[in-house]
Every structure is written in structure tokens, then in C-alpha cells.
A and B are shown apart, each in its own frame.
Chain A
């Protein structure tokens, strides 16, 4: 495509076009570098603290790397200062994994119906969905807690996961609807001629094109569940289903000395798997791109 672009540009040719391209590329790299440096600062400081020696986290002047680098923090952090973190990690994996899966399926189905079908009540349901999107969470959390405690779901995984299986989030439904609207309807009509009903049209024709959006939405969901503090705080007060954020916080509130290095190391270890999933997932962005819209032809 680059070759095509330079060839098609009518006036600047030869050296001039090349130097223009070159200058633009340098500008692009410089702005990326600047933003990357700004973005990485808090992450770097977090890692810095995580590898610092206990009690020497905040010495001045600070070096570029902690001195000495305490690698044993990696092994010490999961053991916790009061309770080991492994049990909390298992609960977090269950919550984030099952929650993400259920939410993606439900959101795609609802988004598809709202974008592609005509039926009485569609506008009402869409308006209600957007309405729920803007409802402050504090207004629903107390009645929700009362409901869950009445049917005995408080302090079980289900209180965390179940709401996401029933339609996921209004955010996801809205996003999937917006995305399906950008796909030309010719695809549906083609599937229709092949005899596919709406169910197969959605899963076999539209969903493969939605891979970039699904990956992005899945990442957002997973990261949200993984870091969610308020939900577990309200619905899971026993050890049975407490998640990692609760585990880390309770560990370091349990002692008079917060042990910052271990606190930060626990958080780093908690962020790491999500970061790895993101690296793996973002390759799919490109693959999804090949199949998306009419651009893949």
C-alpha cells in the first residue's frame, strides 16, 4: 500500500517525496516515544517500589533502579503478610473468566437483535439500555444487595457472575450494536440467500468480523472484573469468594506496617497475567482486521 501511495501522489516525486515520508516517520516516532514515556511513568514507579528493599522504598535521592534489587519480593509477596494470596487468585480467575465469557455471548446476542432486527419495542428496549448505562451504580447496589441476600446468593460466586450472564453490561450491548451497524447489510442478505437464519447469520457471518471488537471488549471486561473492588466488597464478605484486590488490601491493612514493597509486588503480580493476555490478544486485532467489513476483499 505504501508503494501505491507514493506512486499515486502526483507532484512530489523522487527525493522530495522520500524526504517528506522520512520526516513524517520521524515525527511519528517522536510523538509515540513521548506519549509512551509519559504513560509508562506510574508503571515504572510501581515496579521500582515492588523490587525495593522493605523499609527503603522512599529513600532520597532515588536511583534509576532500586538499590539493592530485591528479587525475593517475588516469592514473598504471594505468601502475604497475614493470608496467602493463592485462594484469592483462584476466586478472581473464576469471577473474571466466567464473567467475561457470559457477558460477551449475551452482549453480542442483544447487540445483534438491536442492530439488525425490526420488531415492536426495539426502540423502547434500546432507550432503556442506554438509560441503564447512565444510572449511577450507587443507586442500584443497595437494592441489589437486599435481593441477593434474600435469595441466598450473597457470599457465593453467583452473586458476582450471574448478573453478567443476563445480558452483560449496557456498555457492551451498546458497543456491539454500534459495531454491527457499521457492517454493510449486504452480508446479512448474502447469508439469507444461502438459507441461513438469524442465529447462523450472527455466529457465522457477523461474529467472525467482530473479532477485533470482541477481543477489545473482552479485555475491558476481564480487566474490570479482575480489578473490581466494590462488587466483591459488597457481595463477598467471607473467605469463600473474596477476590485478589480484597486479599491484597486486607493483607496490608492487617499489619501496622503496610510493607510497601510487598504491597506493590502483589499488585505487579496481579497486573502481570492481564498484561500477558493483552499482548496475546492484540495480535488478534490484525487478524480480525483482515476479515472485517468489506475491507478484506
Chain B
């Protein structure tokens, strides 16, 4: 394999079209390529239609109806979308979700990169460190929510006990309208495990000779980070950024188990509102409209990021 790579490298300087050994297999590959590509994609295309597009289309149709499961759906045009503008709870959910997203991205995209870089440096204890960072992400959410609920409990919680011991005033935490949302946002630090893993494997795929080359040139650690790590990692950063946005807009579990949207709707996340409208008020039509607007907002934000990505994402083996 190694020899072949060298050969191609040597060949690349010459005109590729003149080399018969190069030309023949390449043509054969390309002729069948459409068929072959669709064979590779066949499972996903079936899954895409049956498990994604179908259900999505169904809920799109539902968003223009008044549907409560029991009686048949009734077409109401854009009523559901007009209702949203005047729905105070929807405006609140929008604000809460955006606030949370800012917190979450800071943890998931920025802080996790620095944690991954700490873990990537070979040395005693880095294996254990990786395990410790990933461990909290392995705790099932229902258990984690119960746990945080106890730790920050206003009356019996560990933190309030410690605050009192130190002579500081007790805090409301999840019961305080000012503290609940920032606290939920900060707790996301313990769920950076997946972003951390993705960064780590990205860091390990950076060829060492790049670092060797820039070190020989006498570059400092900051310059190594800026000129090798960041550009080589930029596809992975783009990935984590998009996933981070998607995850944070869909946050649900922690609010569902821990705060139930309160106090005073301060942790009323968008998806929690959808869930309430769908499964508590059985307004399936309105809930479908809410999820469609959520989808459109997330689509616009991620679309914008993809647009800008050509300015800051660097691909080594980009296919043209």
C-alpha cells in the first residue's frame, strides 16, 4: 500500500491522461458509478423515505388541520400558524430556547475542544481522564435529572447545605425564576461527552508530520493550534457546531424530568411546549405547526453556517 501511494504521488507530477495504467480502471469505475453509488446508498434511501420523509410529510399535512386523534382531521388553512404569533407561551419558549442554545454551544463546541486537547496529549493519566470526561454522558438522563434534582434541592440539597455551612445564603436554584435556566444551561457541561469523543478522534487523525514541520520552524504552541490544529480540525468543528445547534433546539428530557417548564415558564423549551400541546392538550395540528416552525428556524441557522463554512472549513481530500 505504501509503495503504491508513492507511485501515485510520483505520477501526479506527470500528465495523468498519458498513463494507460491510470486511465483504464478509472474509466471503468466511473461508468458504473451512478449505479454503484445508489447501491451503497440503498439502505439509507429506503430508511429516508420510510422513517423520515414519510412521517415528516404526514406531520406537515397535519399542521394545516385541526386534529385531536379522536375525531377526523379538519382542514383549517393557516390558522395554526396565525395562532402562534399571539401565543405568549410560544414567544416565551422561543426566548428560553435561544438563551439555552448560547449556553449549550459554549460548552459543547468551545469548552469540549479544550478538554479534548488536554486529553489528546500523551502522558500518564490521559486514558483515565478520557474515561472520567465521558462517564457523566453515560448516566441515563432520567437518573441524571433525579441526581441533579437532589444535589440542587432547595430544602435538602447538598449545595445548599454546603452554602449554609460556609455562612452563605441558601439559593432557590431550580425553584428560582432567575436561576433555573442558567443552571440548566450550566449542567450541560456534564454532557459534552459525545462532542469530546468526536474532537478526540479528529485530533488523532491529524498527521504528526504537520506538527513536526511547524515545530522545526520554531512555532509556539499557540501558532501550532492556530495554523495546524484549527484548520485540520475545521470539518469536525463544523460537525459539532451543527449537531450542537440541533441538539440544543431539541432539548426536552431535563426540563421534562426536572423543572417541568417552571418556575413561571422560565425553562419552557420549545419541544416541551410541542409535547404539551400534542400529548396533554391533544392539539396535534397546532403541535405539528410548532414543530414545522422549529424545523424551519433550525434549517435556516444551519443553512447559514454551511454557507459560511467555505470560508473557514478546510478539507484535505475534498471531492470536486
Contacts and interface: CB of A to CB of B under 8 A. Distances in A.
A68 interface: no
Contacts of A212: 201, 204-205
Contacts, number: 332
Interface in B189-208: 189-190, 194, 197-198, 200-201, 204-208
A134 interface: yes
B238 A279 contact: no
Contact of A216 (B197, B242, B253, B291): B197
B58 interface: yes
A195 B148 CA distance: 57
Contact of A119 (B37, B136, B190, B235): B37
B130 interface: yes
Contacts of A122: 37
A123 to B, nearest CB: 12
Contacts of B288: 139
Interface residues of B, number: 121
B140 A166 contact: no
A186 interface: yes
Interface residues of A, number: 123
Contact of B133 (A36, A146, A182, A286): A36
B317 A184 contact: yes
B77 interface: no
Interface of A: 1, 4-5, 8-10, 24-25, 28-29, 31-32, 35-36, 38-40, 42-43, 45-46, 49, 58, 60-62, 106, 109-110, 112-120, 122, 125, 128-144, 146-147, 163, 165-168, 170-171, 173-175, 178-187, 189-195, 197-199, 202, 205, 212-213, 215-216, 219-220, 223, 226-227, 229, 245, 249, 263-264, 267, 270-271, 274-275, 278-279, 282-283, 285-286, 288-289, 292-295, 297
Given A35-B115, A293-B316, 7 more contacts: A45-B147, A62-B161, A138-B271, A139-B55, A185-B317, A264-B143, A274-B138
